[in-house]
Structure 1
Amino acid sequence: MTKGDTLAIKKVSLEKGQTKPPARLSEATLLSAMEKPAAFLEEESADLVKTLGETGGIGTVATRADIIEKLLNTQLMEKRGKELVITKKGKQLLELVPSELQSPALTAQWEQKLDQIAKGKLNKTAFIAEMKQYATTIVSEIKQSKQSFKHDNVTGTPCPQCGKLLLELENKHGKRRVCQDPACGYKKNISKTTNARCPNCKKKMELWGEGEGQMFACVCGHREKMSTFQEKRKNNQHKKVSKREVNQYMKKQKESDFTNSALADALSKLKLDK
């Protein structure tokens, strides 16, 4: 085909479709993004991108996994299968904090200043004073802001210690209710994920309640008191035979097979004519 050629159009078709959003981050891809955050810089200078590449990104190999764990434990994001999803609490935090705290460019700028200190081009005391002033300014701006954080997980149950409404939290270990006042510190476990398997569908069951009223519950609908479950487990343990006991039994059977058996004794007494 060359420029100026004429082609006959035999068929034209219109296809409908929808664009797909980028896949959500998983723990593995988020770790990779923290190691190489330059792709998330918007209209930043080339030297900042270079700095992030040389210094190893956000955090260190030893701290990145811990950072993700803290984000999950504080309900700023949650896991849905293998995907990480930002929560309403996390979205509110992004709306409240200054924009520069949301960009890896700030990390690159601080790394550059640390490099200047190492080369003797910047005074360490001056850098520390600058950091203190920056932190003071940020905190002051947040305090003076008219925006306020609103809990989206408030329950109708008052705290038995201070009277404020409790918050319901959920993580990979289960559910619990805590006082919204950190100074109060009240908390109560509602349910927790266990390794106990449902007798019907074999999935892990949750343990609800406290004390003698504790009950196992499965997503398939199975319910069972903990006392009943423990009794069944106790009975099953009595029925179980160890591998060692099985081996000893088989060994005895092997030794006794056709050795001094009734049939062998009877045959030994027979006198057969030659």
Structure 2
Amino acid sequence: MSKERFDIHQHLTDRIVAAIEAGAGQWQMPWHRGSGGRHPVNIASGNKYRGVNVLGLWVEAQVNSYGSHLWGTFRQWQAAGATVRKGQKASYVVFYKEIEVDADDECENDSKRRLFARATPVFNADQVDGFGAPAVETPVEGVGTADAFIARTGATIVHGGSRACFIPSLDEIRMPERTAFTGSATSTATEAYYATVLHELTHWTAPSHRCNRDLSGRFGTEAYAMEELVAELGAAFLCAELGISVEPRPDHAQYLAHWLNVLKADKRAIFTAASKAAEACAYLTG
């Protein structure tokens, strides 16, 4: 495929859809498997990837069984003294560049700025030779820090009952007691509790006086399902920040068909959901 015809939006959407379909039978999403619990980091800058790039790299790590959370371009690995092995297939991240373009022919002196997506090929540390001890390590906070993080948000959380939810009219989060949560093969009961709180906290950011996230204009009748996807991604991003395993939510089985329909019909839908989730995380960590 020529570089000019490469569609990064369609490419990442197709990869994510395929990964979701592969795990749907277990109610698992790509961030529940593989290295989804660790935040992808760039080898050169030490910066964490953000938004849809986090999800895209989690998918690639899961599909290809990469165990490392370190990524870099061909040249970045060279600069680190490593060599990408011959025949290794690149994964892609997307960056947006703002450029100035002519507004129209009638207003020759006018211009406006547009965002253009640029696809960049990257390779995982498992694809290179000559790479020694990790130059970049992501600190893991763990559940001990989660209580302090949740308290700093200022959200009202009321414990009791059997259902976790955010009630907009009361502006409060309802949570079952911690003892109601159970562990699994991939996470402890405590981690399951915190993953659920972080999910509901993402919902808590939606009102107009916080992130003003109204998806009805973008997704119409699928807005509720897409808000659930935003909350699912938000919880996954926050769990990665705090070093907490994300527990699959069986109640999301009802949303899978909606998510897949929207993503297949709109190649930019997952980018919007990931961007909104990243915005919610930034608000909560702000």
Category of TM-score, reference length = shorter chain: under 0.3
**Structure 1 length as normaliser, TM-score?**
0.22
